[in-house]
Amino acid sequence: MDAIEKIMRTAPVIPVLVIDDAAHARSIAEALVAGGLPVLEVTLRTAAALDAIAEMKKVPGAIVGAGTVVDVPGLECAIAAGAEFIVSPGLTDNLGKAATTKGIPFLPGIASAGDIMRGLDLGLTHFKFFPAEANGGLPALKSLIGPFGQCRFCPTGGIKQDTAADWLAVPEILCVGGSWLVGKGVPDVAAIESAARAASALRN
């Protein structure tokens, strides 16, 4: 099994995290892992993101990756911070070649048949469908799965707790990305753990 597929199969939901204060990172990770969601995507959208990755990696059982990686310098910074996998909103030849050369599990974003074909040319078969709802939702992804049944997907963008199960019922969809699990501001760890438990039970 590919390393990225193993990560995608670990839990039905990958929390997509925007961390503004690295001091909160560890408690957020502990709550998510305790709730059954060990795979954590820290988006590189804030100044605290790289420090947050380093803090979350201290949590036993956490598998911490970097999201919103859009170029090679971002890839290198994420790896240096300890990211165990890389997620991108899109796919370029430069980023795809760099990620495969470094051998790190890589989940690039796709929104069309052309995107998937570009990925296949790079030897990639696992993709993030993004932004999922804005790109036509589940019917759109099902239409792409038709000609690309060898590929596996993690749709992200607009998916909620009450819609995730519909996506996860499709065999080629191994997990979904979700930003609903952690609110803004000081983390409510009890609420985060509760949300994680509900999300982790989606495929039970």
The DSSP-derived string for 42-84 is EETTSTTHHHHHHHHTTSTT-EEEEE---SHHHHHHHHHTT-S
Instruction: Tell me how far CA of residue 124 lies from CA of 102, 121, 151, 155, 164, in angstroms.
Output: 14, 7, 8, 16, 24
Which CATH number characterizes residue 8's domain?
Answer: 3.20.20.70
Task: Determine the pLDDT at residue 1.
Answer: 74
Q: Mind telling me the catalytic residues?
A: 41, 128
Round to whole Å and give the CA distance between 126 and 8.
9
What is the count of structural domains for the chain?
Answer: 1
Of 11, 65, 5, 19, residue with least CA distance to 37: 11
Host domain of residue 149: 3-200
From the first residue on, what is the mean pLDDT of each consecutive set of 10 residues in the chain (204 residues)? 95 98 98 98 98 98 98 98 98 97 98 98 98 98 98 98 97 98 93 98 82
Task: Determine the pLDDT at residue 204.
Answer: 58
Task: Determine the pLDDT at residue 184.
Answer: 87
Task: Determine the pLDDT at residue 203.
Answer: 77
Q: Whole-prediction pTM value?
A: 0.97
Of 180, 186, 167, residue with least CA distance to 128: 167
